[in-house]
Structure 1
């Protein structure tokens, strides 16, 4: 199995980031409709399991992309 290209990393990161942003907006919108305080909304976002998982995956993708790019340069 071949390694992903830099473009594939970029596309994956872009799509996952967009999904994360949409999910955060949904949580904020619903919370605001329920008239929740801003501190509670931030707490919900920070403890949201799926958002946290996406953040971990994005971090791993950035590291993999960085490693793949540095291997190409060496």
Structure 2
């Protein structure tokens, strides 16, 4: 089941879905449904911080700061 979720997020990211970037980033950071990879997680979260959706951008910036993701870029 989790593989389907991850596939959905990858497809959504390819289509420019900002929420999918955010959620895929968190999944990589937490190792949920895929391998733990802070570098990939940080990259997806970084992309999510710079979009036009203010609520999402703020949420992504918060996780960026809390988890000190700058060290992975």
Structure 2-normalised TM-score?
Answer: 0.36
Q: Does 1 or 2 have the higher relative contact order (CA < 8 Å, sep 6+)?
A: 1
Q: Which structure has the bigger radius of gyration?
A: 1
| Structure whose residues are more often helix by fraction | 1
